[in-house]
């Protein structure tokens, strides 16, 4: 399973994101950039988090995160409707992707060369 997943949905003028990290990071639900729900640990089976949209009156919603054999799926349930939340990259597409472990080899070669001198 990947290190982290991020799901995002724009709903009724609100930006809703769900970030699933390593087991020590847990699951965060963000509405308009603010954390509104949190659970420790990695989802096992189905995990449900509840929160409210900041409206007058506050409108409750649920986030359902399901681990199906290593693949994570995320959905938002609000007002009797269910919306599938698409997974988005953890970095901005205009930026370079995060470094992979294979890119450290030139540095390793340089260190070996310097040791020989």
Provide the pLDDT for residue 75: 93
Q: What is the pLDDT of residues 80-107, one digit of tens each?
A: 899 999 988 766 555 666 666 555 566 7
CATH architecture of 5-116: Beta Barrel (2.40)
pLDDT at 113 over 70: yes
- What are the residue boundaries of the structural domains of the chain, listed by start? 5-116
pLDDT class of 1 with cuts at 50, 70, 90: very low
Q: What is the mean pLDDT of residues 53-76?
A: 89
CB within 8 Å of 75: residues ≥ 6 apart: 63, 64, 66, 82, 83, 84, 85
CB within 8 Å of 73: residues ≥ 6 apart: 65, 66, 84
Closest CA to 4 of 109, 88, 104: 88
> What does the DSSP 8-state code read for residue 57?
S
Q: What is the mean pLDDT of residues 42-64?
A: 88
Q: What is the pLDDT of residues 13-33, one digit of tens each?
A: 899 999 987 766 789 999 998
Question: How many CB atoms sit inside 10 A of residue 49's CB?
Answer: 18
Provide the pLDDT for residue 94: 59
Characterise 36 by phi-psi region: left (phi > 0), alpha (psi -120 to 50), beta (else). alpha
Q: What is the pLDDT of residues 68-85, one digit of tens each?
A: 877 889 999 998 899 999
Provide the pLDDT for residue 67: 83
Is this model's pTM higher than 0.85 or not? no
């Amino acid at each position: 399973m990947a290190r982290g997943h991020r799901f995002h949905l724009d709903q009724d003028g609100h930006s809703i994101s769900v970030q699933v990290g390593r087991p020590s990071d847990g699951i965060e639900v963000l509405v308009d950039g603010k954390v509104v729900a949190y659970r420790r640990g990695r989802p096992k089976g189905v995990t449900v988090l509840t929160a409210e949209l900041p409206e007058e009156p506050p409108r409750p919603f649920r986030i359902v995160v399901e681990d199906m054999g290593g693949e994570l799926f995320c959905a938002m349930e609000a007002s009797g409707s269910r919306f599938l939340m698409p997974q988005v990259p953890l970095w901005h597409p205009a930026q370079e992707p995060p470094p992979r472990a294979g890119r450290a080899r030139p540095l390793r070669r340089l260190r070996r060369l310097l040791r020989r001198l």
